[in-house]
Amino acid sequence: MHLYYDLHIHSALSPCADDDMTPNNIVNMAKLKGLDLITVSDHNCGRNVEAASKVAEQAGILFLPGIEMTTAEEVHVLAFFEEAGAAREFGDKLYADLPDIKNKPDYFGNQLVLDEHDEVIGTLDKLLISALPYDIDASCKLIREYGGYSIPAHVNKGANSMLANLGFFPPQLSFKTIETVPGLAIENDVSRFEQIHSSDAHNLWQIAERERYLEVDEANVRTILQKLCD
């Protein structure tokens, strides 16, 4: 079975994303593009995951809950969870531990918490794109403690990636899959990893086309996590 996917989409909660990246707009665009599987993975918080999960379920699109962490080294790591509630709980832990740096909406952008009807039900004050106080080892350990799975994000980007910021893949972390950006050079040997290619969309038009798929036996979150991480 082929599942066409985009496993790295930011909602309007991320200050760097457009305000129209609402749960319904994201899901409807994914449906228009023929995607079967999506993830909403905002920076260091999961307050919009549950709303997006509900909308995706109603639309018949498989939803993999996620968050994009920023480690102390400013490395981005995708954390995936089996249930939206677990992602929300994990994200609340991250938000509580973020440094007390206030968001400046006029400069960084809004941080909108939305419900499944795209109504704004709140905003967050702390700047979500700040680095967390955990190094890469502690970050991946924390993801596992909350029942999640980690994948290094956009490893061949020139900033906020494992290769750009660390220069190597820490061997003790034993990742199965990495996220890479097509068309960008990868100087390190990545042949031992599976690779996914997602959009890292911050606006609706950046959401992936129906181009890349996961081949799985069953269309459910557990099977997808086993494919990517176990």
Q: State the residue range of the domain holding 176.
A: 2-229
Q: Residue 111 has what pLDDT?
A: 98
Q: Residue 161 has what pLDDT?
A: 96
User: Could you report the per-residue pLDDT of 206-230, keeping only the tens digit for each?
Assistant: 999 999 999 999 999 999 999 999 7
Q: Residue 65 has what pLDDT?
A: 98
Q: Residue 200 has what pLDDT?
A: 97
Q: Residue 187 has what pLDDT?
A: 84
Q: What is the pTM of this model?
A: 0.96
Q: Residue 183 has what pLDDT?
A: 85
Domain count across the chain: 1
Which residues of the chain, if any, have pLDDT below 70? none
Q: Which residues contact 230 (CB under 8 A, 6 or more apart)?
A: 149, 176
User: Could you report the per-residue pLDDT of 4-18, keeping only the tens digit for each?
Assistant: 999 999 999 999 999
Q: Residue 13 has what pLDDT?
A: 98
Do 48 and 91 form a contact (C-beta atoms < 8 A)?
Answer: no
Angle between helices 49-59 and 23-32 (to 10 degrees): 40
CATH number at residue 222: 3.20.20.140
Q: Residue 230 has what pLDDT?
A: 75
**How far apart (Å, rounded) are the C-alpha atoms in residues 174 and 159?**
22
- What is the largest distance, in Å, between two alpha-carbon atoms of the chain? 47
